[in-house]
């Protein structure tokens, strides 16, 4: 069975490609490498012993999609391709809307033409917006966000839902991720953002590696036990495995399902920094700073639907998340 993985050279896409190849699927990756490196494909091959077909192309380019769907019999698509930096999306909203919506529309048009009806979409907890109480449950309104990036997730969920409504044989799974961190056990894959990282774990790793001087913790006056924000961090390999479960489920269940993927546990910024220091033995200097605009005090998942429908739950703990994130950065530096 052939799976098209859009954005498959990226952080979550590459880990998912590994799990797919190891489970015996054939994998076709399309990625424009706007935020990923070409040698990720070599690393995927090194880990799995199998090389995915790779197209260096934009998933918003109908001609390229035509070429890919003509050459391969694609049974299902996992759609990761999209810009993902929250802050950048506030400065460049049009680019974000153009890219992230076009890629989904072009993909659906190609799927429609070639009779491919199974899709797993990379969504985000950001669709729960600013007003829902934690833990987030899939039945809550998920119709707003705090950034253009987040709005593209809301809009893409809408587009996919409307598409499925007129294709009764289509199955669409909207996977709402919480905070994926960590890397592959081999040390060959991990979170490798261009420039100065926005997300907490890659920033912590760069500080630990001495590439950045110190971490600024964005706010310690939140109404949480230690005053810093609470998030639901999950291991990227657990997350990747969730996509395989979703793919299976979609194979026998037409319709649309939104499903949270998280641990159901909340961890503060300070707890994460301490866990990282304990797991790696490396010090992470930090200072307290002001709150970051748009941050919520607490975000975590109710994961019962993932367990019920997919039989999925996380297996790897915070220590493993920290160790694997650091292992990747260390190997990568060398
Ligand atoms: N954070 C921080 N310093 C940083 C980056 C992030 O204190 O340099 C905090 C941020 O305020 C949030 C948590 O770490 O409470 C996770 O942030 P991230 O950007 O990784 O994910 P988010 O949940 O905001 O999407």
pLDDT in tens, 271-288: 999 999 999 999 999 999
* 286 carries an active-site annotation: no
Residue closest to 304 by CA, chosen among 135, 126, 129 = 135
Residue closest to 40 by CA, chosen among 208, 186, 222 = 186
Residue 4 has pLDDT above 90, yes or no: yes
- CA–CA distances in Å: residue 319 to residues 90, 271, 287, 328: 33, 11, 23, 14
Which string of DSSP letters, residue by residue, matches 126-150?
Answer: GGBTTTPPSSB-TTS---B-SSHHH
Q: Mean pLDDT across the chain, nearest whole number?
A: 97
Residue closest to 197 by CA, chosen among 208, 186, 184 = 208
Protein residue closest via CA to atom 4 of ligand 1 = 200
> Do 292 and 219 touch, CB atoms closer than 8 A?
yes
Pocket test of ligand 1: the residue of 90, 134, 200 to mutate, having most ligand atoms within 8 Å of its CB, is 200
Which residues, in sequence order, are CB contacts of 255 under 8 Å at separation 6+? 164, 171, 172
Q: Enter the pTM of the model.
A: 0.98
Cα separation of 168 and 256, whole Å? 10
Pocket test of ligand 1: the residue of 197, 212, 216, 218 to mutate, having most ligand atoms within 8 Å of its CB, is 218
H/E element, 27: strand 26-31
- CA–CA distances in Å: residue 121 to residues 91, 107, 174, 268: 25, 11, 5, 28
The string of pLDDT tens digits covering residues 168-192 is 999 999 999 999 999 999 999 999 8
Q: Which two tokens stand for residue 149?
A: 């990036």
Atom of ligand 1 nearest to the CA of 294: 24
The string of pLDDT tens digits covering residues 124-158 is 999 999 999 999 999 999 988 889 999 999 999 99
Q: What is the mean pLDDT of residues 24-38?
A: 96
Q: Which two tokens stand for residue 262?
A: 């998280």
């Amino acid at each position: 069975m052939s799976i098209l993985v859009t954005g498959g050279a990226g952080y979550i896409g590459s880990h998912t490609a590994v799990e797919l190849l190891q489970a015996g699927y054939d994998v076709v990756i399309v990625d424009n490498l706007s935020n990923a490196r070409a040698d990720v494909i070599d690393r995927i091959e090194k880990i799995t012993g199998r090389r995915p077909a790779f197209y260096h192309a934009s998933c918003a380019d109908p001609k390229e999609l035509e070429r890919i769907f003509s050459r391969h019999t694609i049974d299902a698509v996992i759609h990761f391709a999209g810009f993902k930096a929250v802050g950048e999306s506030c400065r460049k909203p049009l680019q974000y809307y153009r890219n992230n919506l076009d890629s989904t529309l072009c993909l659906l048009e190609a799927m429609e033409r070639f009779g491919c009806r199974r899709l797993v979409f990379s969504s985000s907890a950001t669709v729960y917006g600013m007003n829902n109480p934690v833990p987030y449950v899939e039945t809550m309104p998920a119709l707003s966000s705090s950034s253009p990036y987040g709005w593209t997730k809301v809009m893409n969920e809408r587009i996919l839902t409307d598409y499925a409504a007129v294709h009764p044989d289509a199955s669409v799974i909207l996977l709402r991720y919480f905070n994926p961190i960590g890397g592959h056990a081999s040390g060959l894959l991990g979170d490798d953002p261009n420039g100065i990282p926005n997300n907490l774990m890659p920033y912590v790793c760069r500080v630990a590696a001495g590439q950045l001087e110190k971490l600024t913790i964005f706010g310690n006056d939140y109404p949480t036990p230690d005053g810093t924000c609470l998030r639901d961090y999950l291991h990227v390999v657990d997350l990747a495995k969730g996509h395989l479960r979703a793919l299976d489920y979609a194979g026998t269940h037409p319709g649309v399902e939104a499903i949270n993927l998280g641990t159901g546990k909340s961890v503060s910024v300070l707890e994460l920094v301490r866990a990282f220091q304990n797991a790696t033995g490396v010090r992470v200097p930090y200072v307290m700073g002001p709150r970051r605009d748009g941050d919520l005090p607490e975000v975590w998942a109710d994961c019962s639907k993932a367990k019920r429908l997919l039989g999925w739950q996380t297996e790897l703990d915070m220590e493993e998340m920290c160790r694997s994130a650091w292992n990747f950065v260390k190997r990568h530096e060398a």
